[in-house]
């Protein structure tokens, strides 16, 4: 890699510039998924919007490929690159809450934990994902699933406005009233159109105490548990988030089936709504209890810590048929020894489906479930078998798939992949938007809409 002369960028740049021979380079180029190892020519950490503009214009002048990073959790590694520039927003963090308007202004490099903490300090919440070290930007620009989604919708459904640096270095705002079509595209395909330096979210009153946990049974009871799960999904209130899982971990108990829940109603309502699930005799474990929402939001931070090797494949499902559950029970036995893998299903619908499909670029609101095969491991020798397991494991679900795919999970690139994420009509609308805002495809490290 030829060294890049950063002289002109360094003049007046208030943030940090990390070059390949700097001591911090290896830490600066690391991303969450250890499968991804790239060597950018530069990692820059802007201190504010002016630095973002300077870094972007410098990259264009030097014809460097541009990667944009918030939390670094992109599973296919879109927030890093070989030989190009990584514009890493990790020095642009922070959340300001306006408790009267119930809104939050979130800087473009913030993590979910910062938004959760700041909102809860005022008895408010924004629906976000379930691992608190994930970046607000990547998660939101793709959609944003989480444990409050049936009550409050996707994260984009609480998004009021974004401020972004566009491909030609302008700072613009997009909302329902300004650059409306761009705002439509930012909600589901946002990584394609610019570098978001700040988000404005609507917050919702939330007392912060929830009933949360997992009921786990031996794998032999998977079909019975799936039946109980379908009833919960059908009959439960919007306050009830539920996920069904089949998994094998590193512990001695072997494969198990489970249902996880988060009930954000009162504890009496939760006890009533969860009685059927908890009445199934002899669970291996029942960890359902009342706890602060903020505790729940951090429970998976350690199991999903940085440094793992990870593969997944997901789809939206129109239904959760018995045959699929049987297939998963059989496939769980093929998870390579030394890895932890499984299937998880999240109930969709309710507040997600209440937003018309055409209102955002995100596609898939009409699905009944989101389902994924996921696998984590640490030993490089397992890379091929683990990736193959995830790819093959999700195949059966394809027969039951609904329209759309969740862009933040899609790891395949090329071909017609992006069309399958958005469907033909939305894809064409996104192409027109891309031609208007990024005709040279500067922002191409994403599920790319080609101009």
Ligand X SMILES: Cc1cc2nc3c(=O)[nH]c(=O)nc-3n(C[C@H](O)[C@H](O)[C@H](O)COP(=O)(O)OP(=O)(O)OC[C@H]3O[C@@H](n4cnc5c(N)ncnc54)[C@H](O)[C@@H]3O)c2cc1C
Residues at the interface with ligand X (CB under 6 A) = 32, 68-75, 78-79, 89, 108, 129-131, 134-135, 137-139, 141-142, 144-146, 191, 195-196, 304, 408, 445-446
| Cα dihedral 381, 383, 386, 388 sign | negative
For ligand X, give the closer residue by CB, 261 or 329.
261
Nearer CB in complex with ligand X: 36/246: 36
Min separation Cβ 136 and ligand X, Å: 7
Q: How do beta strands 309-317 and 369-377 pair?
A: antiparallel
Distance CA 261, CA 276 (A): 13
Query: What is the separation, in whole angstroms, between the first and last Cα of the chain?
Result: 29
Nearer Cβ to ligand X, position 154 or 222? 154
Bridge-based pairing state of the strands 256-263 and 240-248: antiparallel
Quote the least distance from Cβ 200 to ligand X, whole Å: 14
Distance between CA 170 and CA 437 in Å, rounded? 10
Chain-centroid distance, C-alpha 107:
17
E strands, 203-276, are: 204-205, 209-218, 240-248, 256-263
Q: Which is nearer to ligand X, 260 or 408 (CB)?
A: 408
Backbone angles phi, psi at 148, to 5 degrees: -110, 15
User: Given the complex with ligand X, which of 79 and 260 has the nearer CB atom?
Assistant: 79
Closest approach of ligand X to the CB of residue 306, in Å: 9
* Distance (Å, whole) CA 369 – CA 170: 39
Q: How far apart are CA 391 and CA 313, in angstroms?
A: 6
Q: At what angle do helices 222-235 and 322-332 cross, to 10 degrees?
A: 130
Nearer to ligand X, 118 or 128 (CB): 128
For the beta carbon of residue 247, count every other beta carbon within 10 angstroms.
19
Residue 192 Cβ, how far from ligand X at the closest point, in Å?
8
Q: Kindly list the distances between the CA atom of residue 443 and the CA atoms of 59, 68, 171, 181, in Å, as whole numbers in the listed order.
A: 11, 8, 15, 18
Helices vs. strands in the chain: H and E counts, helices first? 14, 19
SS (H, E, C) 370-428: EEEEEEEECCHHHHHHHHHHHHHHCCHHHHHECCCCCHHHCCCCCCCHHHHHHHHHHHH
State how far the alpha carbon of 416 is from the alpha carbons of 76, 123, 423, 433, 444, in Å: 17, 44, 10, 19, 16
| For ligand X, the closer CB: 184 or 329 | 184
> Smallest distance from the beta carbon of 78 to ligand X, in angstroms?
3
Kindly tell me which of 127 and 283 has the beta carbon lying closer to ligand X. Answer: 127
CB of 363 to ligand X, least distance (A): 14
Comparing CB distances to ligand X, the nearer of 280 and 353 is 353
**Min separation Cβ 33 and ligand X, Å:** 7
Shortest approach of ligand X to residue 146 CB, angstroms?
Answer: 5
Q: With respect to ligand X, which residue has the nearer C-beta, 273 or 438?
A: 438
Return the number of the residue (90 or 221) whose C-beta is nearest ligand X.
Answer: 90
- Smallest CA-to-CA distance from 124 within 144, 100, 143 is with 100
Q: With contact defined as beta carbons under 8 Å apart, do 270 and 276 qualify?
A: no
* Minimum CB–partner distance for residue 434 and ligand X (Å): 14
Q: Report d(CA 200, CA 162) in Å as an integer.
A: 6
What is the closest distance, in whole angstroms, from the C-beta atom of residue 295 to ligand X in the complex? 16
Cβ 276 to ligand X shortest distance, Å: 26
β-pairing, 66-69 vs 85-88, is: parallel
């Amino acid at each position: 890699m030829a060294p890049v002369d950063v002289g002109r960028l360094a003049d007046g740049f208030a943030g940090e510039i990390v070059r390949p021979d700097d001591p911090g380079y290896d830490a600066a180029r690391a991303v969450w998924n250890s499968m991804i190892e790239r060597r950018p020519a530069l990692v820059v950490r802007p201190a504010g919007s002016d630095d973002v503009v300077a870094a972007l214009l410098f990259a264009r002048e030097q014809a460097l490929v541009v990667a944009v990073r918030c939390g670094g959790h992109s599973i296919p590694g879109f927030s890093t690159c070989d030989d190009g520039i990584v514009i890493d927003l990790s020095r642009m963090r922070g959340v300001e809450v306006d408790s009267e308007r119930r809104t939050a202004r979130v800087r473009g490099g913030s993590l979910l934990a910062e938004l959760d903490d700041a909102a809860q300090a005022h008895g408010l919440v924004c629906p976000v994902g379930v691992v608190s070290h994930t970046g607000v930007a990547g998660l939101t620009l793709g959609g944003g699933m989480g444990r409050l989604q049936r009550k409050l919708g996707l994260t984009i459904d609480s998004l009021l406005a974004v401020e972004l640096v566009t491909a030609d270095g302008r700072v613009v705002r997009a909302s329902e009233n300004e650059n409306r079509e761009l705002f439509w595209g930012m909600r589901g395909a946002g990584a394609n159109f610019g570098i978001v330096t700040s988000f404005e979210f609507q917050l919702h009153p939330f007392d912060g105490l929830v009933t949360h946990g997992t009921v786990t049974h031996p794998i032999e009871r998977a079909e019975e548990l799936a039946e109980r799960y379908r009833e919960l999904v059908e009959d439960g209130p919007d306050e009830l988030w539920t996920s069904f899982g089949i998994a094998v971990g590193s512990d001695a108990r072997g494969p198990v089936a489970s249902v996880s829940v988060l009930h954000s109603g009162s504890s009496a309502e939760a006890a009533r709504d969860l009685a059927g699930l908890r009445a199934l005799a002899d669970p291996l474990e029942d960890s359902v209890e009342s706890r602060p929402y903020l505790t729940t939001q951090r429970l998976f931070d350690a199991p999903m810590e940085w440094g793992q090797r990870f593969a997944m494949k997901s789809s939206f499902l129109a239904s959760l048929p018995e045959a699929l559950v049987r297939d998963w029970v059989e496939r769980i036995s093929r998870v390579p020894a030394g890895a932890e893998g499984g299937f998880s299903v999240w109930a969709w619908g309710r507040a997600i489906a209440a937003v018309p499909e055409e209102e955002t670029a995100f596609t898939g609101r009409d699905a009944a479930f989101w389902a994924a095969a996921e696998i984590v491991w640490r030993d490089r020798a397992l890379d091929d078998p683990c990736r193959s397991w995830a790819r093959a494991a999700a195949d059966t679900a394809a027969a039951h798939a609904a329209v759309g795919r969740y862009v933040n999970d899609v790891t395949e690139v090329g071909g017609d992949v992006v069309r399958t994420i958005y469907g033909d009509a939305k894809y064409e609308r996104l192409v027109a938007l891309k031609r208007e805002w990024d005709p040279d495809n500067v922002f191409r490290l994403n599920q790319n809409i080609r101009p």
